[in-house]
Amino acid sequence: GEIEKGGYDHFMLKEIMEQPDALEDAMRGRVRPEDNQIHLGGLHGHWDQLREADRIVIAACGTSWHAGLVGEYLIESASRVPVEVEYASEFRYRDPVLREGDVVLVISQSGETADTLAAVREAHSKGIPCFGICNVVGSTIARETDAGVYLHAGPEIGVASTKAFTAQVTVLSMIALKLAEGRTLSKAELADNIRALAGVPDKVRRVLNASNGALQSMAHTYRYASNFLYLGRGYNFPVALEGALKLKEISYIHAEGYPAAEMKHGPIALIDRSMPVVFMAMKDSTYDKVLSNIEEVAAREGSVIAITDDKDAELESLCEAVVEIPQTKEFLSPLLTVIPLQLLSYHIAVLRGCHVDQPRNLAKSVTVE
Ligand code: G6P
């Protein structure tokens, strides 16, 4: 109904705009800069099990799988525990190698995705502990997992997942910081990172306020494109995948996400004047490499759109459009870079007359195979 949309034209836009509040809710009482603590009651008693695991296997589908990929980078760097990310649908059908010492972590907004639920059951059938990250309280996956964390992001109605993704990445960041405590981070570094995490919702608010208008006009420019490429490195590689997925899901434009450096192994062949290429170009450890990837695209007359935290003349000279977002720590950047990608997809889909909240052929939760 119109009332539930809170004045927005679509649930998806409402949910994009709700992200600062959703992330605050996900962190409430859990991220505590005041006493330098991360508190996640749902995993209480399991931290040593995770820190001492031989391997953490993350299983999920769709957008939740993309959050899982960010989680792999976060958890490996924080804990040095090897992490593997599996499509739940593949995992369940190949008699996966699971051994004592492994821990399975499933991620599901709805908590009802059939393949992800099957991954829980697969783990349990092999005697492996399985934890969950779910949004829907009391969902099947939430009930069947041994322990876990709720997102507290509020109901997500739009089929294309937005606030659940950022809340999942927020929860995974909390888990990573908790695992890093006394391990890879000193007290002072931990405090610094906890403060940075607590500051994310305000920065998301700034991205939304500052870029929505510009992205809406960019949507007019790119609405007729038939292909898009999304490129990022490091923590922003999964964001490139997520940006491409959002565009495919709701605008029916073909889009691919790639790690930027893989471009030269294939996608570069596609680049010409009619190919918009969206780059995540944050001034982090990957920046110089990303900049040279941008130069390669610009040299082939591709239209570069860059998401950056440092809009300088060099970057501007190579790009058709630059979206500036606030700086943050490298490990938190997916929480900011994904926002302009959600908005761009949304506005393009609206201009193309698509059913944004209920795209053709897709379901909010896939409870059958
Ligand atoms: C469907 C939805 C996606 C979602 C995926 C996984 O494909 O359309 O938006 O990411 O399922 O859903 P889950 O509820 O398990 O996160």
Token output for 197: 């995490």
Overall pTM > 0.90: yes
Q: Check if 210 has its Cβ closer than 6 Å to any atom of ligand 1.
A: no
Q: Check if 215 has its Cβ closer than 6 Å to any atom of ligand 1.
A: no
CA of 322 to the centre of ligand 1 (A): 30
Structure ipTM over 0.95, yes or no? yes
How many Å apart are CA 197 and CA 174, to the nearest integer?
A: 8
Most informative mutation of 161, 166, 245 for ligand 1 (most atoms within 8 A of CB): 161
The 3-state DSSP class for residue 292 equals helix
Q: Check if 168 has its Cβ closer than 6 Å to any atom of ligand 1.
A: no
The 3-state DSSP class for residue 277 equals strand
278-312 pLDDT, tens digit per residue, is 999 999 999 999 999 999 999 999 999 999 999 99
The alpha-helical segments, DSSP class H, found in 158-236 are 163-180, 187-198, 200-222
| Pair 112, 137: CB distance under 8 Å | no
The 3-state DSSP class for residue 20 equals helix
CA of 61 to the centre of ligand 1 (A): 6
List residues with catalytic annotation: 364
CA of 275 to the centre of ligand 1 (A): 28
Give nearest CA residue, ligand 1 atom 7. 62
Ligand 1 nearest atom to the CA of residue 159, by list position: 8
Q: Check if 362 has its Cβ closer than 6 Å to any atom of ligand 1.
A: yes
Helix axes 334-351, 237-251, angle to 10 degrees: 20
Largest Cα separation within the chain, whole Å, is: 57
Q: Check if 170 has its Cβ closer than 6 Å to any atom of ligand 1.
A: no
Ligand 1 nearest atom to the CA of residue 116, by list position: 15
From first to last of the 369 residues of the chain, give the pLDDT tens digit. 677 898 999 999 999 999 999 999 999 999 999 999 999 999 999 999 999 999 999 999 999 999 999 999 999 999 999 999 999 999 988 888 999 999 999 999 999 999 999 999 999 999 999 999 999 999 999 999 999 999 999 999 999 999 999 999 999 999 999 999 988 999 999 999 999 999 999 999 999 999 999 999 999 999 999 999 999 999 999 999 999 999 999 999 999 999 999 999 998 999 999 999 999 999 999 999 999 999 999 999 999 999 999 999 999 999 999 999 999 999 999 999 999 999 999 999 999 999 999 999 999 999 987
Ligand 1 nearest atom to the CA of residue 63, by list position: 10
As beta bridge partners, residue 57 has: 84, 104
CA of 51 to the centre of ligand 1 (A): 28
Q: Check if 62 has its Cβ closer than 6 Å to any atom of ligand 1.
A: yes
Q: Check if 308 has its Cβ closer than 6 Å to any atom of ligand 1.
A: no
| Pair 220, 351: CB distance under 8 Å | yes
The pLDDT assigned to 1 comes to: 64
Residue with tokens 């995490």: 197
Phi, psi values for residue 151, rounded to 5°: -75, -30
Amino acid, single-letter form, for residue 167:
A
